[in-house]
Structure 1
Amino acid sequence: MDTTSKVPAADQTLAILSHLAAQRGPVPAATISQSLGIPRSTVYHLLAVMAERGFVVHLPEERRYGLGVAAFELSSGFSRQQPLARLGRPLVASLVDRLGESGHLAVLHGRDVLYLVEERAPRRPSLVTDVGVRLPAHLTATGRAMLAELPPAQLRALYPDRAAFASRHPSAEADAAEWTYGRLKRVLAEVRAHRWAAEDGEVTPGLASAGAAVVDHLGWPAAAIAVTFPDDAAPELRERVAATVLDAASTLARRIGGR
């Protein structure tokens, strides 16, 4: 059943909110109308109602509309309820059961990844990727998977110079010096070509990881799922891990209404 034809005002309201959320700043009502194909009078009516409820704010001097405090509260509620962690945890647990290796789910936070879910496989090496831990995104499989989905301008803003590339190992100066924006772009090009990201001993010597991004409906990397295994694993295991991680990431993307 096509519910949008049953409740067109609700569909149009959500379309306007989604459109505003995807913009860099407030936009005119006429632009919203043209972009979404909604009559201008309808757009003004819906914006007025949303403004009364605090979901949008009107900037009269600029004749533009942006998201309001109520929309921010929805975002905060999303964070409090941790749906990514709730939806992702059983998928990661299933990965661990199937592969016998440890798995995790992380989100991008600036130039770091923040781990939300960690499922340890029995009798496997201990990991630093515990819940709440942050690591440099460019060094991790989850981070690379998500960075590969960012627009070029956003990626460049995150890594404006060599100083942006943090290190984890004792030879911090030497390791950081090896990273440049050009190298990062080459690494991320490989990620896009394969659709999954790899890291090999850059987080913990002796361990490797494969990760895949969870992309939302706006094309933004909402999270990433990865599995960590010994770096001397047979090629067959690496291929199996990559395929299984890709499948889990795709499943989680569908569950959050993404791509």
Structure 2
Amino acid sequence: MGEPGRGTAKTLDRGLLVLLAFRRRSEWGVSELARELELDKAVTHRLLTTLAHRGFVLADPQTRRYRLGATIGVLARSAERGGSLEAAARPLLTALAQELGESAILNVPHGAAYRTALAIDADGPMRYSATVGETIPAHGGAAGHAIFAFYPDEEARRLLGAGPLERFSDETIVDPAELFELYARIRAERVAVSHGEYDLNVTSVAAPVFAAGQVIGSLVVIGPHQSVTEKIDTTVSRVRGTAETLSRLLDGGAEE
């Protein structure tokens, strides 16, 4: 467990680490959580009791194990309504669209699909225009691949299902086994590229966006096939770098 930095409250930091542990497992007992975080059992119990008092965690009276509580969901909905993710992403997307001359989009997961949360259209007659609020199935191109590749395999398989997936074009990946092989490469490279998988006329480059170690969306540059492929190396580099910058900002870091 890393020590808190200068100017931080040690007890609060430990409480936040307790909450972050629920990224790795949906429920914890006091003893196993204390071992996981290398904390004293009594300290861990006090932290969980305090978090339970405010509704951040919920104790099962029979098993004495803890799960995330309703307060977490309330805060998540408040954050979405407040548009903090979009506010942090907008200047980065704008710069990306201006530099590359293609549309830049922020997507967020939406069940077994992804949803357009923010779109900055490129200038010029030949461009791809996205609709904010539109949802597209998870396997529909690079934007979805860059999100769902970073889901736990079990969860991704449950969402996608076991059977053949819907085909949107001749390039759509409809075999789940092939899709999960692609996911492994995306996890290694931290970027996804698709040519006509959802719309046959476009190419897209996407990279995952993280907060607190969890994938929360993807940042995408998308445009006409020829236009994007002519500058694919630059696009891949800039999309990946911008997604990393946004992830740092969401974790409280400063933009470099």
Q: TM-score range by the shorter chain?
A: 0.7 to 0.9
For residues 179-237 of structure 1, the C-alpha deviation after alignment (integer angstroms, 9 at most, x for no partner) is: 1112212332343344311111222232111111112333x221111111221237551
Deviation at 1:124, TM superposition (A): 4.0
Q: Sort the Cα spacing of 1:2 and 1:9 in 2 relative to 1 into closer, same or farther, 3 A.
A: closer
Deviation at 1:151, TM superposition (A): 2.1
Q: Sort the Cα spacing of 1:5 and 1:238 in 2 relative to 1 into closer, same or farther, 3 A.
A: closer
Distance 1:214 1:255 in 2: 10
> Mind listing any 5+ residue stretches in structure 1 that lack a counterpart?
none
For residues 36-91 of structure 1, the C-alpha deviation after alignment (integer angstroms, 9 at most, x for no partner) is: 11111112222222222222222121111222222222222222212211111111
Q: Sort the Cα spacing of 1:202 and 1:186 in 2 relative to 1 into closer, same or farther, 3 A.
A: same
Distance 1:249 1:214 in 2: 6
Conservation of the 8 A alpha-carbon contact between 1:102 and 1:124: no
The answer to whether residue 72 in structure 2 is matched with residue 78 in structure 1 is no
The answer to whether residue 5 in structure 2 is matched with residue 11 in structure 1 is no
Give 1:111's aligned residue. 112
Higher share of residues assigned helix: 1
Deviation at 1:132, TM superposition (A): 0.2
Give 1:180's aligned residue. 175
Give 2:224's aligned residue. 230
Q: Tell me which of 230, 234, 238 is aligned to 1:240.
A: 234
Deviation at 1:22, TM superposition (A): 3.5
Distance 2:201 2:72 in 1: 45
| Code of the aligned partner of 1:250 | E
| Code of the aligned partner of 1:38 | L
Conservation of the 8 A alpha-carbon contact between 2:108 and 2:116: yes
Q: Sort the Cα spacing of 1:195 and 1:50 in 2 relative to 1 into closer, same or farther, 3 A.
A: closer
TM-score by length of 2: 0.87
Conservation of the 8 A alpha-carbon contact between 1:208 and 1:229: yes
Q: Sort the Cα spacing of 1:235 and 1:48 in 2 relative to 1 into closer, same or farther, 3 A.
A: closer
**Structure 1 counterpart SS, 2:139:** helix
Deviation at 1:131, TM superposition (A): 0.6
Deviating 4+ runs (over 3 angstroms): 1-6, 124-128, 233-236
TM-score by length of 1: 0.86
Distance 1:234 1:6 in 2: 45
Deviation at 1:13, TM superposition (A): 1.1
Distance 1:71 1:229 in 2: 37
RMSD (Å) for aligned C-alpha atoms: 2.5
Give 1:210's aligned residue. 205
Give 2:22's aligned residue. 20
> Mind listing any 5+ residue stretches in structure 2 that lack a counterpart?
none
Percent of aligned pairs with the same amino acid: 26
- Which shifted more, 8-17 or 67-76? 67-76
Give 2:56's aligned residue. 55
Conservation of the 8 A alpha-carbon contact between 1:211 and 1:246: yes
Conservation of the 8 A alpha-carbon contact between 2:203 and 2:228: no
